Amino acid sequence: MKFAPADGRIDPGLDPDGTATWIIALIASVLTSAATSPGFHPADQLPTLRLILTRFLQAKPHGSYRSRR
């Protein structure tokens, strides 16, 4: 997480520690749902989880950032 922004692989505006915390929380939620809901199948959710994470981490083209107020 700390080197990916410099390489242009993820949004450089993301805080590495906060981003890692959110990724862990999302994965933990999937695992918790699997443990508590018999009909929940984590493997079925992988495409959605991948989409969420890809869009969250996606580096934006230079100049496309909105003001964060």
In order along its 69 residues, the chain shows pLDDT tens digits of: 666 666 777 888 888 899 999 999 999 999 999 999 999 999 999 999 999 999 998 877 655 555 454
In the prediction, which pLDDT does 34 show?
93
In the prediction, which pLDDT does 5 show?
63
In the prediction, which pLDDT does 44 show?
94
In the prediction, which pLDDT does 69 show?
44
Residue from 44, 59, 54 nearest 23 by CA: 54
Count how many Cα atoms sit within 13 Å of the Cα of residue 49 in the half-sphere of its side chain: 16
pTM of the model: 0.70
Q: From residue 18, how far is each of 22, 43, 47, 62, 66 by CA, in Å?
A: 6, 25, 23, 22, 20
